[in-house]
């Protein structure tokens, strides 16, 4: 899954990967247990990677939105070892998470070197993953569709 974390002003949180310096991305992750719901995966991964607690007073669960978008792509060779033998393609379910601009972010040091808030256009340009960049480019339309 992929979670585009953003503010109401459409600034996007990006994280620089510790295992690939210079590679910037949104929060990503996989289910830990069979049957884990995608929403639960999002809540867990956002907490682990950023310290942002979905379900807190500052970030209610309703701030997490399933964009009903799934990207299927070839797994990068350098990350093939993370998957079962023979798995070469991944399906990435996209979510958006609206947070207050002053939310405290604490990147997981084993996963990320640092973070930055960028305007959505600059964030899309910085992403190394084409599917992540495309998701960010959809942010203005997706954020406007919020009930």
pLDDT by residue for the chain (147 residues), tens only, comes to: 999 999 999 999 999 999 989 999 999 988 878 889 999 999 999 999 999 999 999 999 999 999 999 988 787 787 777 777 887 887 889 999 999 999 999 999 999 999 999 999 999 999 999 999 999 999 999 988 755
Q: Say which CATH topology domain 2-144 has.
A: Nucleoside Triphosphate Pyrophosphohydrolase (3.90.79)
Question: In the chain, what are the domain boundaries?
Answer: 2-144
- pLDDT recorded at residue 43: 97
Separation CA 28–CA 21 (nearest Å): 16
Nearest to 116 by CA among 10, 12, 5: 12
- pLDDT recorded at residue 1: 94
Q: Is this model's pTM higher than 0.85 or not?
A: yes
Contacts with 125 (C-beta within 8 Å, 6 or more apart), sequence order: 133
- pLDDT recorded at residue 146: 58
Three-class secondary structure of residue 130 per DSSP: helix
Separation CA 90–CA 108 (nearest Å): 23
Whole-Å CA distances, 109 to 26, 79, 85: 15, 18, 28
- pLDDT recorded at residue 147: 52
- pLDDT recorded at residue 96: 97
């Amino acid at each position: 899954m992929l979670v585009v974390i953003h503010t109401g002003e459409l600034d996007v949180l990006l994280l620089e990967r510790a295992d690939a310096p210079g590679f910037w991305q949104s929060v990503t992750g996989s289910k830990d247990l069979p049957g884990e719901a995608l929403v639960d995966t999002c809540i867990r991964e956002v907490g682990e990677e950023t310290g942002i607690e979905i379900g807190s007073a500052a970030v209610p669960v309703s701030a997490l939105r399933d964009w009903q978008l799934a990207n299927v792509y070839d797994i990068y060779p350098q990350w093939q070892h993370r998957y079962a033998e023979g798995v070469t393609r991944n399906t990435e379910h996209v979510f958006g998470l609206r947070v207050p601009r002053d939310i405290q972010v604490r990147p997981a040091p084993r996963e990320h070197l640092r973070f930055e808030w960028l305007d959505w256009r600059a964030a899309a340009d910085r992403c190394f993953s084409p599917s992540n960049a495309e998701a960010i480019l959809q942010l203005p339309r997706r954020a406007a569709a919020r009930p």
